[in-house]
Amino acid sequence: MDGHVAGGCSKDVAALADLVRSAGSVVALTGAGISVPSGIPDFRTPGTGIWEHVDPMEVAHIDAWRDDPERFWSFYGDRFQTLGDRQPNGAHRALAALERGEMLDGVITQNVDMLHRKAGTRELVEVHGSIASCVCLTCGARCTLDETLALLRDATVPPCDCGRPLKPDVVLFGEFLPEAALQRATELASQADLLLCIGSSLEVHPVAQLPGVTLRHGGEIAIVTQGSTPYDGRARVRCSGDVEAELAALVAALL
């Protein structure tokens, strides 16, 4: 099974299953594409991506939160409500099943939607944070998602008990990734015999560097996503079909 594998879904999944079986450590790296079947649009797909309709620098930048919290929360309030209602799809459940079957060591996700948590993934690194909570940057207090939504029913900007605006516990543009999360993600990627990249363009840094970390440490990468990525030519297996169907087929082949 040398070289890049292309072609029909069944051939790709069979090759991917062989890779997983032969790997001592398998880690998944997921992006927005894995959550699209759950009704969550990705960010950059022409015509449907979130940033097609709104400027992220105006509603998702740390300066936007500081300078115009009402406009910031007019976007994030809707996003919190939408994401909080979504449920994991077959792709999330497939990764949780592989972990339960001791064929997956963990999931690194760029997503903030909590769907891997809901699906039952235990070893989860949320490198961009999560909508599960909000934080006050003044006093350090935290509120759960439900508490934040309750506050938003009475106010356009959810306030902390100290009176300052709450900030979503997600990484906004202009912020650094949490050091501990990035360190854990890098550790998992460096130890992986196989990094399974799912639903990600692999273009958003620093997470986009993780496939290179795996390759430099002697591991291999496989890609399951519909769009092109900078690592397509270096992937041992490249699947470009429906993410739910392909991961379900992978689970069926392995468990």
**Which sequence positions are flagged as catalytic?**
128
Nearest to 80 by CA among 9, 18, 169: 169
Closest residue by Cα to residue 167 from 180, 148, 182: 148
Q: Exposed, middle or buried by CB within 10 Å (0-12, 13-18, 19+), for 47? A: exposed
Computed from CA positions of residues 23, 252, 201, 181, in that sequence, does the dihedral angle turn out positive or negative?
negative
What is the three-class DSSP state of 9?
helix
Question: 84 and 131 in contact (C-beta within 8 Å)?
Answer: yes
Number of Cβ atoms within 10 Å of the Cβ of 24: 10
- Strand ranges of the sheet holding 129-135, from the earlier edge strand across to the other edge: 142-144, 129-135, 167-170
Residue of 203, 189, 39, 202 whose CA lies nearest to 105? 189
